[in-house]
Amino acid sequence: MLSSAAHAQEGDFEVHDENLLGKAKSLTFYSYQAMTGDAQPSYNWLHYKSIQKYNNQGQITEFKMFNKNSISPYYVDSYEYDQQGQLKRVKNLTKEDPSISEIEYDNEGNRIKIKTYTLSGELQNINTRTFKNKKIVKEEIFNSNPSEPPLRKIYTYDSKGNIILFKIIDRTGKLIVVTTDKYDNNGKRLSFVTKDFNDNLTTIGSYVYKYFPNGKLKEESYYLGKYQSTKNVYDTMGRVLREISYQEDASNDISSDERYKYDKTDSQGNWTQRSRYNNGHRTRLEIRNIEY
């Protein structure tokens, strides 16, 4: 299901944002699973490891992910930037679908074109965009043959810059998806209705928020139709404390209740050790080694 929130310029590429305070040179992330009690990290418990590197401006330049028993990474992303610090090239080396993307900008820094190639240089698709007042109003996605009609996405905004109407038009000119959105005074999404004409399906979703006295988000609940689907709870630093998933039926039973405990932080205020518990049992220990 595609929605209007799924295609913001910031979300074009996975940049593995760790929400770090300060400028890091590198971050090594270890995820240990199914550790009981106060057991200490060991190779036997390791689930996966990732390594990411940053440039002098704090922008990510490389991300590698390793399975437990692997010396070579199974997932690699690399990033290049222009003199203005804009992302200009992304190379993805996943085994399933490796690709290279090249990005063009206008004079206002809007991302107006993305070309994606195979590693051998064969064109896969071209995404062109039209902007108005720095807001994307139209996308046209061409396949490997630019002479064929594109898939089109149309965005409409309210006076505060929130997307209130999103449309997808297929390559034959048929309207296939329409999403309408409503927002609160903080610009947070309150509700949406998505109509998928291909599948003859309508999806209705809504959100409920609670805030700390300083205005920071404290809780976020999501409802799919009339049933609650998820609930996230945050601390005053914006870190997630609890993630709850519900059975999306009349029982509204909790299917998963994951809690986060931040065991250690460094001098920059970034957490370096975090424990995750589900239904009272520790299921994951996560460690971040950060170099500044």
Residue where the block lists tokens 């036997």: 44
Structural domain includes residue 291: yes
Domain annotation covers residue 18: yes
Q: Decide if 90 is inside a domain.
A: no
* Residues 109-115, mean pLDDT to the nearest whole number: 96
Indicate whether 114 and 67 sit together in one domain.
Answer: no
Model pLDDT, residue 175 = 98
High-pLDDT (> 70) share of the chain, %: 93
- The pLDDT, as a whole number, for residue 3 is 36
Write out pLDDT tens, residues 116-167: 999 999 999 999 999 999 999 999 999 988 789 999 999 999 999 999 999 9
Pair (169, 240) in one structural domain:
yes
pLDDT band at 64 (very low <50, low <70, confident <90, very high): very high
pLDDT at 62: 97
pLDDT more than 90, % of the chain: 78
- Tell which wins on pLDDT, 41 or 101: 101
Query: Average pLDDT over the chain, rounded to whole?
Result: 91
Please tell me the distance from the alpha carbon of residue 121 to that of residue 177, in angstroms, as a whole number. Answer: 32
pLDDT at 34: 66
Q: Is the pLDDT of residue 37 over 90?
A: no
Residue 8 has what pLDDT?
41
Helix then strand count (H, E) for the chain reads 0, 20
Domain boundary among 124, 148, 172: 148
Q: Which residue has the higher pLDDT, 291 or 39?
A: 291
Q: Are 166 and 198 contained in the same domain? A: yes
Q: How large is the average pLDDT for residues 261-270?
A: 96
Residue 254 has pLDDT above 80, yes or no: yes
Q: Total structural domains in the chain?
A: 3
What backbone phi and psi angles, to 5 degrees, belong to 208?
Answer: -130, 135
pLDDT at position 68 is: 83
| Residue 11: per-residue pLDDT | 65
Query: Within this chain, do residues 162 and 190 fall inside the same structural domain, yes or no?
Result: yes
Q: Which long-range contacts (CB under 8 A, 24 or more apart) does 29-36 make?
A: 29/286, 29/287, 29/288, 30/286, 30/287, 30/288, 30/289, 31/284, 31/285, 31/286, 32/284, 32/285, 32/286, 32/287, 33/283, 33/284, 34/283, 34/284, 35/282, 35/284, 35/285, 36/282
Q: Which domain holds residue 231?
A: 149-252
Q: Is the pLDDT of residue 13 over 70?
A: yes
